[in-house]
Amino acid sequence: MFDLVSLGLEAGVAGICILKDHTMKTEQSLVPISATPAGQDANGVSHNGGPTRSRSPKVDAPPAPLNDELVNQILKGHGLRGWLRVANVSRVLGLLTLYLFLDSYDIRSKFNRRTAERRREAARAGGRQAQFLQFCRGGVGSMLDRAIQVLRFVVFRGADGSTRKMARLEKQAVWLRENLIALGPTFIKIGQTLGTRGDLLPLSYIKQLSILQDQVPAFSTSEAHARIEAALGRSVQEAYAEIDAEPIAAASLGQVYRARLHTGQEVAVKVLRPHLKEIIRFDIAILYRLVKLTNRFFPRANENADWEGMLQEFHRTIFEEMDYGREGRNADRFRYNFRDWRAVRVPRIHWSHTASQVLTMEFIRGTKVVDLEALRARGISPVKVNRLLVRSYLKQLLEDGFFHADPHPGNLLVMDSGHLAFFDFGMVGRITPRLQSQMIDAFFHVVSRDVHGLGQDIINLNFLKPGVDPETIRPIVEGLFKHYLNLKLGEVNFKELTYDLAEVMYEYPFRLPANFTYIMRALMTLEGIGIVTDPEFSFFETAKPYAKEFMLKREGRLFRKLIFDKLTGRENGSDRIQWTKVWKLTKMAANMYLER
């Protein structure tokens, strides 16, 4: 599985060292941030011919990358309160990691025994000295193995049978969810992110962490009004003709009120939680110290997961989410990308009433995408809604390279016209042309039933850990996909496929690339919505005709260009036609035709 000694056995000691360590170092200035290129916004959207904005607030600079000097500066001067916070975070992460390490130890133990056997065979050929050293090493390893097995029995109280283990994992997952909520916004967001990482956590944990989407208490309206006035520089009464006394929604980072402008327009006002940036900055500094100390004492901890890289990515994305000016610009870009799609709506941003901590947008009424009774009462077909949702995501992923990364039911509404409205653009994903090309390769191999090609896709997409020989893993990957490729596309369940892939990742040397976390999270969420509204829903079957559209119509010009580059070899710097790929594409088209 994976070696999570990382944050576990060291978390308690690391927590004690954190505040002590930083006081011994001198305070240094933050790393400067380069300016956005002229003619572009912070998202790289050209102002020439792109979405127009009126008096949009300046987007906050991206946070400086985490380093020792920055973390020392953040941790300085928090006193007893800081120590208590460190202790609580260390307790939760330490117990979590200990649970996961002990759970995975049965597979790790088998691996260790196989390794020891190979070493004994090598020692027999190396003479008496080598045999003696191996005997000593084996004895120490055997004692350590027994000690861990005893610790496992004590911690889990012997609950290791299949049924008892499932019950225990469920109990641990509930404990984790409740403690993350108690730790606050930073750890709720971490839990939401970990809920997509089947390569890191058992399925029981993933299912519990998915509940975190709607388990956040609201903060007081008086605090919300104070933040609105501070951000906009005027009183709430001057900014809005009326505003609801209670929020209509609350999330980990902010909450939403319904209001009306003095012009009569109905709007939604999103307000950032108070003191949020300070809390999150301090929590991330704690996590950085834990990861650094763990890597120092347990360097193998990074074999199964790039903890520091994941923390840097989380640090960047969560500060982007806390900048409502950036979220508004993301919404503008998304709306511009769908300017020719009447069936997709994105609320317009009222920039005169928007700042980095307050976002005022058009209020759009609609029905939740999973509310079947309400949809049918309005004469709206859930099947058509699913098709529209899938089609819009294919455009985002394969054409725009810019997609909504958090499409849970709270961020989607179906209007009375049957049009689909997207909300909350704090979490967006970007896809490079190279990754789009690799995704198209994978699509070809799925449809043409090319098991060997899919195995190569897993390697090309960097799903293997550094240093792993691809040829030793290829049979495992091909064995996983062989079952699914014998099914029709309509029989393939994306979530089941993802969970099966997660189990393989959990037991073998795979790791989920950071750029795939949001993609898989979005697609799993989409299939979950589709199955709720239509038990016969299949993401692949629904996507198939629209994938063909993107190849054949104007809106798929980038998609077609990538295909052309593959067939002519231009992606590899060649001008020769790749006849093998032409043949595979022909087989793919034949399969599509036969499965209509």
The DSSP result for 323-379, as a single string, is: -HHHHHHHHHHHHHHTTT-TTEE-PPB-GGG--SSEEEEE----EETT-HHHHHHTT
Residue 37 in this model has a pLDDT that exceeds 60: no
Task: Looking at the structure, tell me whether residues 137 and 103 fall in a common domain.
Answer: yes
Q: What is the pLDDT of residues 223-264, one digit of tens each?
A: 999 999 999 999 999 999 999 999 998 888 999 999 999 999
| 260 within some domain | yes
Task: Looking at the structure, tell me whether residues 434 and 567 fall in a common domain.
Answer: yes
Please tell me the predicted confidence (pLDDT) of residue 30.
Answer: 30
- Residue 497's CB is within 10 A of a number of other CB atoms, namely 20
Please tell me the predicted confidence (pLDDT) of residue 36.
Answer: 34
Give the N- to C-terminal CA distance of the chain in Å, as an integer. Answer: 41
Please tell me the predicted confidence (pLDDT) of residue 143.
Answer: 72
Q: What is the pLDDT of residues 100-133, one digit of tens each?
A: 777 765 655 555 566 666 666 766 777 777 766 7
| 586 within some domain | yes
Residue 330 in this model has a pLDDT that exceeds 90: yes
Residue 311 in this model has a pLDDT that exceeds 80: yes
Residue 19 in this model has a pLDDT that exceeds 80: no
Task: Looking at the structure, tell me whether residues 156 and 264 fall in a common domain.
Answer: no
Average pLDDT over residues 84-107: 79
| 67 within some domain | yes
Task: Looking at the structure, tell me whether residues 146 and 234 fall in a common domain.
Answer: no
Please tell me the predicted confidence (pLDDT) of residue 566.
Answer: 56
Average pLDDT over residues 8-21: 40
Q: What is the pLDDT of residues 482-507, one digit of tens each?
A: 666 666 555 655 556 655 665 565 55
Report the CATH number at residue 340: 3.30.200
Task: Looking at the structure, tell me whether residues 209 and 225 fall in a common domain.
Answer: no
Please tell me the predicted confidence (pLDDT) of residue 3.
Answer: 38
Task: Looking at the structure, tell me whether residues 187 and 269 fall in a common domain.
Answer: no
Task: Looking at the structure, tell me whether residues 85 and 161 fall in a common domain.
Answer: yes
Active site members: 406
Average the pLDDT over each of 17-31, 191-205, 290-304 and give the range with the smallest value: 17-31
Please tell me the predicted confidence (pLDDT) of residue 543.
Answer: 80
Please tell me the predicted confidence (pLDDT) of residue 199.
Answer: 52
Residue type, 477: V
Average pLDDT over residues 65-90: 85
Please tell me the predicted confidence (pLDDT) of residue 34.
Answer: 31
**Domain limit, last residue, from 363, 378, 393:** 363
Phi, psi dihedrals of residue 28, rounded to the nearest 5°: -130, 160
| 524 within some domain | yes
What's the angle, vertex CA 483, arms to CA 200 and CA 444, rounded to 5? 85
Please tell me the predicted confidence (pLDDT) of residue 539.
Answer: 77
Average the pLDDT over each of 2-16, 70-84, 197-211, 245-259 and give the range with the smallest value: 2-16
Range of 334's domain? 220-273+323-363
Question: How far apart are the C-alpha atoms of 541 and 530, rounded to whole Å?
Answer: 12
Tell me which residue of 113, 413, 16, 88 sits closest to 249, measured CA to CA.
Answer: 413
| 311 within some domain | no
Task: Looking at the structure, tell me whether residues 140 and 85 fall in a common domain.
Answer: yes
Task: Looking at the structure, tell me whether residues 284 and 344 fall in a common domain.
Answer: no
Question: How far apart are the C-alpha atoms of 257 and 245, rounded to whole Å?
Answer: 8
| 41 within some domain | no
Report H helices in 486-556.
494-507, 514-533, 539-552
Burial string for 201-220 (b: 16+ CB within 10 Å, else e) reads bbebbbebbbebbeebebbe
| 315 within some domain | no
Number of domains in the chain: 3
Question: How far apart are the C-alpha atoms of 30 and 112, rounded to whole Å?
Answer: 45
Please tell me the predicted confidence (pLDDT) of residue 196.
Answer: 53
Residue 299 in this model has a pLDDT that exceeds 50: yes
Please tell me the predicted confidence (pLDDT) of residue 432.
Answer: 86
Task: Looking at the structure, tell me whether residues 488 and 499 fall in a common domain.
Answer: yes
Q: What is the pLDDT of residues 269-283, one digit of tens each?
A: 999 999 898 899 999
Task: Looking at the structure, tell me whether residues 140 and 228 fall in a common domain.
Answer: no
Task: Looking at the structure, tell me whether residues 162 and 292 fall in a common domain.
Answer: yes
Q: What DSSP element (H or E) covers 71?
A: helix 68-75
Band of residue 424 on the pLDDT scale cut at 50, 70, 90:
very high
DSSP output for 396-428? IIIIISEEES---GGGEEE-TTS-EEE---SSE
| 51 within some domain | no
Please tell me the predicted confidence (pLDDT) of residue 168.
Answer: 81
